[in-house]
Amino acid sequence: MNYILAPSILSADFLDLKNQIKQVEDAGAKYLHFDVMDGMFVPNISFGIPVLECIKGNTELILDVHLMIVDPERYFEKFKEAGAQILTVHVEAMKDPASDLKKIKELGMIPSITLSPNTPVEDVFPYLDLVKQVLVMTVNPGAGAQHYIDKCTDKIRAIRQEAERRGLDIDVEVDGGINEETIITAKEAGANVFVMGSSIFNHDPAKATKMYLDILK
Ligand code: DX5
Ligand code: ZN
């Protein structure tokens, strides 16, 4: 299994963003997780296209964009132009998930679907053959530094099992409340991509990245 760390800049020091991105990159992270919130799908507003454009071309990290916005299809082309490489969309936010996921692929991005903790896991099953990644939200979307919701572990397992049963090569990413303990729980359930905000950026980002990569070895 290929294990990947995806530091989430939601918890970064934005005045020092360039330096903080370099620290996690040099320490061995592979993705940079970018949380877009619109104040509608979730109560908070975070950051968007102009910030992503600044990052584009200034890092080798794969830009893993998580859209927490209503009707996300309105912005697919703009996110592609701004540098998104993996585009994650919420099953709850789309009117026509199959068509949206195909559009993401046609635009040259890697399609990824996600579901909030209260959404049944079966809701994403119809779309597994249209995605390269499923993101299992392990907190309610909308804020960093929340506690991992234990009942989500079964969803990680269910998605991994269903993908294997259907012979699909899918990454299972987890997002929310990942720390020294829950990273093991999620890994054992079948996750292989780990989003981490506060556990990395509220500490020394380089040291924390190295420590979590060691845990995954
Ligand atoms: C929450 C975001 C997360 C957030 C995770 O809605 O999707 O990516 O940054 O933060 P931590 O790792 O602090 O729970
Ligand atoms: Zn996220």
Point out the ligand nearest to the CA of residue 138. 1
Told to judge if 35 belongs to the known catalytic residues of this protein, a careful annotator would answer yes
Lookup: tokens for 107? 């635009």
CA–CA separation, 126 and 145 (whole Å): 31
Place of tokens 């499923």: 134
- Output the residue whose Cα is nearest ligand 1's atom 10: 144
CA–CA separation, 124 and 93 (whole Å): 12
Mention the CATH class of domain 4-216: alpha beta
- The residue extents of the domains of the chain are 4-216
pLDDT tens, residue by residue, 42-79: 999 999 999 999 999 999 999 999 999 999 999 999 99
Ligand 1 atom with least separation from CA of 178: 12
If we measure between CA atoms, which residue out of 39, 65, 71 comes closest to residue 52? 65
CB-based burial label for 77 (10 Å; 0-12, 13-18, 19+): exposed
Told to judge if 71 belongs to the known catalytic residues of this protein, a careful annotator would answer no
Place of tokens 């490489």: 85
- Ligand 1 probe mutation, 139, 173, 180, most atoms within 8 A of CB: 139
The DSSP result for 168-211, as a single string, is: ---EEEEESS--TTHHHHHHHHT--EEEESHHHHTS-HHHHHHH
What are the average pLDDT values for consecutive 10-residue runs of the chain, which has 217 residues?
97 98 98 99 98 98 98 98 98 98 98 98 98 98 98 98 98 98 98 98 98 97
Parallel, antiparallel or unpaired: strands 86-90 and 110-115: parallel
106 C-alpha vs ligand 2 centroid, how far in Å?
A: 23
Protein residues with CB under 6 Å of any ligand 1 atom: 8, 10-11, 33, 35, 66, 139, 141-146, 175-178, 195-199
